């Protein structure tokens, strides 16, 4: 099961960039399209204190923020434990 969840839409270039970086870093993730699923949008709003932009990212169910926060955590080495190894 992926420990990282990205709430996104189909028209968000920053969402695409976040997903590409996670794939490049070898970190599995689950994408949740809030534009296609009202229940997912409600879930995102509850987890993020009503954030209105995407991507919104959680790790182990804890909200970390968006793309900037994801890259900051990567630069700080905080995502190393999430890297999938074969």
Beta strands in 1-86 (DSSP E): 4-8, 29-33, 56-59, 62-65
The structure's pTM equals 0.91
Question: pLDDT averaged over the chain?
Answer: 93
Three-state DSSP class for residue 64: strand
pLDDT at 1: 62
Which CATH number belongs to the domain containing residue 39 in this structure? Answer: 3.40.30.10
Please determine, for residue 47, whether its predicted confidence score (pLDDT) is greater than 70: yes
- For the purposes of burial, counting CB atoms within 10 Å of the CB of 80, is it exposed (0-12), middle (13-18) or buried (19 or more)? exposed
For the segment 3-29, what is each residue's pLDDT rounded down to a tens digit? 999 999 999 999 999 999 999 999 999
Q: Residue 10 is part of which domain span?
A: 4-82
Q: Mean per-residue pLDDT for 35-61?
A: 96
Lookup: tokens for 17 = 């960039």
pLDDT at 86: 55
């Amino acid at each position: 099961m992926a420990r990282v969840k990205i709430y996104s839409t189909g028209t968000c270039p920053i969402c695409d960039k976040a997903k590409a970086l996670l794939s490049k870093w070898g970190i599995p993730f689950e994408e949740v399209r809030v534009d296609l699923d009202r229940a997912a949008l409600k879930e995102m709003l509850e987890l993020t204190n009503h954030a209105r932009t995407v991507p919104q990212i959680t790790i182990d169910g804890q909200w970390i923020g968006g793309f900037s926060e994801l890259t900051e955590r990567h630069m700080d080495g905080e995502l190393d434990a999430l890297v999938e190894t074969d």
